[in-house]
Amino acid sequence: MIRQDEISAEEHQAFVRSLTNDTSKAYFEISLENDPIGVIDYYSIDPVHHSAYYGYYLRPDRIGSSLGILLEYIVLEYGFRHLNLLQILAETHPSNKAAINLHRQFGASDLNINPRGLLESLFNLNDWMQLRPRWNEIVSRMVEPARLDDGQNCESTHN
């Protein structure tokens, strides 16, 4: 997520209400051992081209904890398996080298700098299927694997 300024409670509530009928977006709170660690979101969901952009927010006190790996994994796994996407795109500030490197480790290819000055990276389903077994093994050491596979622990605002 690109926004840096603080969001008021009223602004946040209005945004959440706006998601009710918006099928171009899906937001999920991610918890680990009943502790909310962040949010992942898909936006500009295109059902014709089976594509979407994504973002995620990791709680500031969890940055540097390797949980960014978990969120990136969940984004790809859920997007490809449950939203039936063929392509997932990321927008990243070019100075955010850690995020760019993480995207590349997960198989993203850099596309271009968009008009907003953000690097667009592309994840393809076929590339993910090649890398998935390796990341399954890594992530399974971080959390209980069954909780990642069943999708039952995700609450969606996507209709």
Question: Higher model confidence: residue 29 or residue 6?
Answer: 29
Whole-number pLDDT of residue 95: 92
Residue ranges covered by each domain of the chain: 25-149
Whole-number pLDDT of residue 60: 86
Whole-number pLDDT of residue 157: 43
CATH number belonging to the domain at 25-149, selected among 3.40.630.30, 2.30.30.90, 2.120.10.30, 3.30.70.260: 3.40.630.30
Write out pLDDT tens, residues 110-135: 999 999 999 999 999 999 999 999 99
Report the distance separating Cα 135 and Cα 33, nearest Å: 20
pLDDT confidence band for 3 (50 / 70 / 90): low
Whole-number pLDDT of residue 68: 87
The pTM is what? 0.79
Report the distance separating Cα 92 and Cα 86, nearest Å: 20
Whole-number pLDDT of residue 126: 96
Q: Where are the alpha helices (DSSP H) in the chain?
A: 9-18, 67-81, 97-105, 125-140, 145-149
Residues in the chain: 159
pLDDT confidence band for 34 (50 / 70 / 90): confident
Instruction: Decide the pairing of beta strands 51-58 and 87-92.
Output: parallel
